[in-house]
Homo-oligomer: A and B are copies of this chain.
């Protein structure tokens, strides 16, 4: 069996190990910086073996995954490359790629990677063999990358259940800056700016709650990501500022027709995003008016589950005293919309067109 090295065994590293072991893809050897964690890594089922040193873990590996935090990736990946021979492909799983490819992209053995799967949770305890099932896994080969090693990595990732795709590292970072890092910057800005007003009104609008959900996310993790992608995020913020300047011009006209046109443009963009998410099948919102007692959400979800409807996303809008409210569920495909609507009506709850919050 080929030897697979996993350096850093948290959610991603642990899930690579579990998936590889469950699918019989290789002998998984891991290394963790804190020796006290070795036992729990083995117990979790993520590894066949814990090596006492990084160098021993990667020796003779066919593939070495560098799965430490974004801030630690350069140092750790450098150590891996220094320790392995010509026939080991070395990859990482960080959410930024430019810095890593800048450092190691001229080494034919290094191919940057980024699985779009999983939310960061507390470690190997959350690892799952099916984490990558159907997930996009971006790879950033360069002109000097070894074709044989790239092919090996690509096949392995496919065997894990993921869907690999190649992308230029700079393009990856520019896209991530907009689709993931900028929402965090916006959330941070809104949380700070809206606090005084929310306290004055004694309420948090549902739109604000959604918009600030990721504000202040894990400061250690996010300071490393944003620092690593500083140039692209700065550029994305610049583009956002220019867009907000134009929005302000439109809104300052006070002309409902002009504002309506701008709003309709955003509606089209939102619909197109929704189509990306549904992988071609658009998601549809269904709004349900319910008493907000314990159990009512279960009642709705249970009925949908029994009728085979899978809920893609869900949003709750309790009344201020949480005595009643609305549940909006998103489902993919027209068939599920029909099924869901029937289920809910059979429960005696009212389905209403999912209009948007007005406060």
Contact = CB atoms under 8 A, between A and B. Distances in A.
B297 A216 contact: no
A213 B210 contact: yes
A320 B117 contact: yes
A256 to B, nearest CB: 4
> Chain A contact residues (Cβ within 8 angstroms of B): what range?
35 or more
Interface string A292-324: 111111111111111111111111111111111
A220 B260 contact: yes
A148 interface: no
B219 A248 contact: no
A122 interface: yes
B251 A217 contact: no
Nearest to A320: B135
B227 A237 contact: no
Contact of A273 (B191, B257, B268, B357): B191
The 4 closest A-B pairs by CB, nearest first: A134-B321, A216-B267, A295-B305, A217-B356
A204 interface: yes
A18 interface: no
A348 interface: no
Contacts of A257: 223
Interface string A197-218: 1111111111111111111111
Contacts of A300: 298, 301
A294 B321 contact: no
Contacts of A247: 185, 188-189, 237
A312 B306 contact: no
Contacts of A122: 352-353, 355
A249 to B, nearest CB: 9
Contacts of A126: 289, 350, 352
